[in-house]
Structure 1
Amino acid sequence: MSETRIALDRTARVAPVNRRIFGSFVEHLGRCVYDGIYEPGHPTANEDGFRLDVVELVRELGSTTIRYPGGNFVSGFRWEDSVGPRDQRPVRRDLAWHSLESNQVGLDEFARWLALTDSELMLAVNLGTRGIQAALDLLEYANHPSGTALSDWRIANGTPEPHDIRMWCLGNEMDGPWQTGYMTADDYGKLAARTAAAMKMADKDLELVVCGSSGSGMPTFGEWERVVLEHSYEHVDYVSAHAYYQERGGDLGSFLASSVDMQYFIDTVVSTADHVGNRLKSKKKIQISFDEWNIWYLDEHKASEEINDEWRYAPRQLEDVYSAADAVVLGNLMITLLKNHDRVTSASLAQLVNVIAPIMTEPGGAAWRQTTFFPFSVTSRLARGEVLRPRIETGSYETAVYGEADLVDAVATFDEADGSAALFLVNRSLTETQTVRVDVRDLGVSSVREAVSLWDDDVYAKNTMHDQNRVGLRPTPTASLDDGVLTLELPPVSWTGVSLG
């Protein structure tokens, strides 16, 4: 059994916890919307057709800001198709996922769903096949109170109050050849800058997200951010980051260290953005919106025939079933996002229901929690106050992909107002339990309020439709607090959350 020592200091502050860090993502893709959040014939459906059993799980998950409606989908989307009388909405082809879109769920309905889940809308505009005028029209429809053609159309459609959407994405993954209408960094940067400037003429307080790289492996990574931001820096507030991870070739050790790449991604984007800001002599700091991140077995989906030449409504696509190991990695990625919360101030777990998601459903049947549901929900619930950067002394191991990686990773939060603290930890060791001793004397806490872990003797155990509770949270009986030192044991390949008061 190895030993790790951690020290927490209330002055080692990263940033106040911004609830937007616990965002998620709903795209018109596969069964995320249709047969996911929306199923009019389901026993739990409300008058809008939304499944209330899913609403309850979303509330339990603790997701906050929801990015919508894409994703790749948005680059071919005509927003006007999705408002007005449902029986008059056109069916369109979605080229991104080769499926049919009925447009039965649109902005006004989705905003009502958001109210049920206590979530904020983060809306994406189409800069792939459309541009400035369509973005301005959508902004007028969504946010102007009344008295203009488009705001009055919204009112006539049954939504008298403006949606007041604050956060807007300027397209999606415009660096990717898979994107309808993808562009060079120079072309996109110019279009994004003009669109952002026009949108802020309508509302100077909008928060705008310009597209960054679709992954750290993109050949233009870093250079894309530099060129795009040189055009748009003074008009935007965030640059996006997208990253997905999966175990490859049975290399679980490297997979467990995926957050090493996420840290590299963040460091690169921050240094690039600050370089551009310094060159422009700007006083503004661009923030990162990590608005797509998750575990995604993309290699397997590419090899399958789930995306084919048929044009279908809501086909089953990208429905990964997650293991205990996947949940540990996801929990570690959340730790990394919090560690960088001074610059990563918004994030969206992609996606929310059925499509690479923490929540799964069956038509007419149950909704259940995937393994990845648990570290997200506990972190969202317990993280309060200020993020603290811990001092960690731990062993390391060698990975084939990322080189040397720490065995234990952790982050903490501290709420000075009520004297509570939370600690989130992972043990990446494949074989060894880690005894962890955490010096919390500076925080003034005196008791363990809650300690839960996610692990399984079978690291590939999953929750399925037929065994929905195979993997879940377990009490951490070894957690004890004596004389200002928290002691606990972390099983191999595990995630743990602790609340102190």
Structure 2
Amino acid sequence: MSKKAKMILEKDFKISEIDNRIYGSFVEHLGRAVYGGIYEPGHPQADEMGFRQDVIEMVKELQVPLVRYPGGNFVSGYNWEDGVGPVEQRPRRLDLAWRTTETNEIGTNEFMKWAKLVNAEVNMAVNLGTRGIDAARSLVEYMNHPGGSYYSDLRISHGIKEPYNVKTWCLGNEMDGPWQIGHKTAVEYGRIAQEAAKVMKWVDPNIELVACGSSNRSMPTFADWEATVLDHTYDHVEFISLHQYYGNYDNEISNYLAMSLEMDDFIQSVISIADYIKAKKRGKKKINLSFDEWNVWYHSKEQDKLIEPWSVAPPQLEDVYNFEDALLVGCMLITLLKHADRVKIACLAQLVNVIAPIMTEENGPAWKQTIFYPYMHTSVYGRGVALNPIVSSPKYDSKDFTDVPLLESTAVYNEENEQLTIFAVNRDLQEGLHLECDIRNFEGYKIVEHIVLENDEIKQTNSAQGTPVAPHTNGNAVVENGLVTAVLPKLSWNVIRLAKK
């Protein structure tokens, strides 16, 4: 007899309306993300601008609403002026962040055109490493001011008459990290972020700003960093950022799949710090969270040490994801949705080739990694209101975690479309999990489909030759008398879609 888990869903048990930017992604000038990823002029499927249309179609399939650009570590040494104007006049630069050569063939205007092709907004980052408040305000003027000033007229001279009106901006990147170009203490960064934020909003009062939080939770300055930075920037920013990557270094899957619990705790901690600063300031404004780098990243770290310095667009950070990685990514997506009241932006890092759901071959096909599927399912079916389910599940202990629920689950209700979607991971290594979900409050709702991602080989990967890790719709969920019942296969990602018939 398989183990049982129970869930109760009520229309009125709401966490929050989901901000669609929670399904954002990230394209950095790093490895083959840009050159050979989104852009490959000689490719059979390249359009007249050199953008790969096969990649565009896959990004559209993911319905990515927001893309962070141009970095990442790269932005801390980037002069944005290098990437605008006539391409043949742009300088080649040494990128110290990744020890490569940047040709600047693709810059701001080209990327904005690409973003429009995939129906995405851009989350623009400014350089607070080697640059500062002057470059930051100039870039906002170039991007968002209608005309009649030096930088807005420069944009118009580059063939872009209408302003882009970029809404979301990152104040630098990972400035707490010693690896960062222009690394700063919390006070140094807090001050420059405050002054940059001030003048950027003087140019365009409608923008929203993200201050850098810690590069990950294990940074020695974590918590003090957030508190100090927000102490300086509270009046000027809307978001504090979080970054976190996980890897199965000790090859213990039960522990690996529990790492989303640490992500949950990280989010809770940052919320607490943000609320402490609000209380300290006697403020009315709630600082929300931008989890603008998250993913699995560990497979490629050894091969990256072999890359020839100063080459152009070498294959860096090209993790090939397996089935267990897809399960953890699913758990992380559920974790983000559980905090939809405070996590308003999140960016899966990254989008193409570099720790990415989409991979490409030079002059060859593009293909979907295992993590493509949970990301696509939540982005497409996870629009609406995040519900707060009452869940009871069997639990287990692992090396680093206690009381890990076998069932990791949440649900999204789209009232307008009369749709209800349950996202669920069964962490059980041995057997299926019998799920009973009470949806009596959703009268007349029927099963549309029960999507399952499962595989007998936890280390199975996809490739250009084939995608053995791909979802099927043969899940066995049924609904009767207001009760959804299903057996979630062992180690599986499940999407149970219901709608009012």
* Whole-angstrom distance in 1 between the partners of 2:194 and 2:387: 35
Amino acid corresponding to residue 478 of structure 1 in structure 2: N
Give yes or no for the alignment of 1:88 onto 2:89: yes
- Is the 2:307–2:314 contact (alpha carbons within 8 Å) kept by the matching residues of 1? no
What are the within-5 Å matches in structure 2 for residues 138-153 of structure 1? 138-153=139-154
- Is the 1:239–1:286 contact (alpha carbons within 8 Å) kept by the matching residues of 2? yes
Amino acid corresponding to residue 484 of structure 1 in structure 2: G
Q: Which runs of 5+ in 1 are unaligned?
A: none
The C-alpha deviation readout for 1:251-296, integer Å capped at 9, x for no partner, is 1111101110111110000000100110000000000000000011
Give yes or no for the alignment of 1:195 onto 2:189: no
Give yes or no for the alignment of 1:352 onto 2:356: no
Aligned to 1:480: 478
* Whole-angstrom distance in 1 between the partners of 2:313 and 2:119: 26
Aligned to 2:30: 29
Residue 21 of structure 2 aligns to a residue in which SS? helix
Distance 1:304 1:45, change over 3 A: closer
What is the CA RMSD across the aligned residues, in angstroms?
A: 1.1
Q: Which runs of 5+ in 2 are unaligned?
A: none
Amino acid corresponding to residue 375 of structure 1 in structure 2: P
Aligned to 2:245: 244
Amino acid corresponding to residue 280 of structure 2 in structure 1: R
Deviation at 1:452, TM superposition (A): 0.4
What are the within-5 Å matches in structure 2 for residues 65-464 of structure 1? 65-297=66-298, 301-306=300-305, 308=307, 310-464=309-463
TM, length-normalised to structure 1: 0.98
- Is the 1:419–1:443 contact (alpha carbons within 8 Å) kept by the matching residues of 2? no
* Whole-angstrom distance in 2 between the partners of 1:456 and 1:428: 13
Deviation at 1:305, TM superposition (A): 4.7
- Is the 1:98–1:307 contact (alpha carbons within 8 Å) kept by the matching residues of 2? no
Moved more, 444-453 or 106-115: 444-453
Aligned length: 498
- Is the 1:306–1:316 contact (alpha carbons within 8 Å) kept by the matching residues of 2? no
Aligned to 1:493: 491
- Is the 1:445–1:500 contact (alpha carbons within 8 Å) kept by the matching residues of 2? no
The C-alpha deviation readout for 1:156-201, integer Å capped at 9, x for no partner, is 1111111110100000000111111111111101110111111111
Residue 441 of structure 1 aligns to a residue in which SS? coil
Amino acid corresponding to residue 255 of structure 2 in structure 1: S
* Whole-angstrom distance in 2 between the partners of 1:489 and 1:358: 28
- Is the 2:147–2:153 contact (alpha carbons within 8 Å) kept by the matching residues of 1? yes
The C-alpha deviation readout for 1:1-24, integer Å capped at 9, x for no partner, is 101000001111011121101100
Aligned to 1:471: 469
Deviation at 1:384, TM superposition (A): 2.6
The C-alpha deviation readout for 1:228-273, integer Å capped at 9, x for no partner, is 0001101100000001011121111111011101111100000001
Percent identity over paired residues? 46
Residue 39 of structure 1 aligns to a residue in which SS? coil
* Whole-angstrom distance in 1 between the partners of 2:32 and 2:318: 9
- Is the 1:453–1:494 contact (alpha carbons within 8 Å) kept by the matching residues of 2? yes
Distance 1:255 1:479, change over 3 A: same
* Whole-angstrom distance in 2 between the partners of 1:106 and 1:31: 15
* Whole-angstrom distance in 2 between the partners of 1:373 and 1:208: 28
Residue 172 of structure 1 aligns to a residue in which SS? coil
- Is the 2:67–2:122 contact (alpha carbons within 8 Å) kept by the matching residues of 1? yes
Residue 154 of structure 1 aligns to a residue in which SS? helix
Residue 397 of structure 2 aligns to a residue in which SS? strand
* Whole-angstrom distance in 1 between the partners of 2:452 and 2:304: 37
* Whole-angstrom distance in 2 between the partners of 1:304 and 1:35: 19
- Is the 1:420–1:445 contact (alpha carbons within 8 Å) kept by the matching residues of 2? no
* Whole-angstrom distance in 2 between the partners of 1:296 and 1:271: 27
Aligned to 2:61: 60
Deviation at 1:429, TM superposition (A): 1.2
* Whole-angstrom distance in 2 between the partners of 1:364 and 1:303: 26
Residue 486 of structure 1 aligns to a residue in which SS? strand
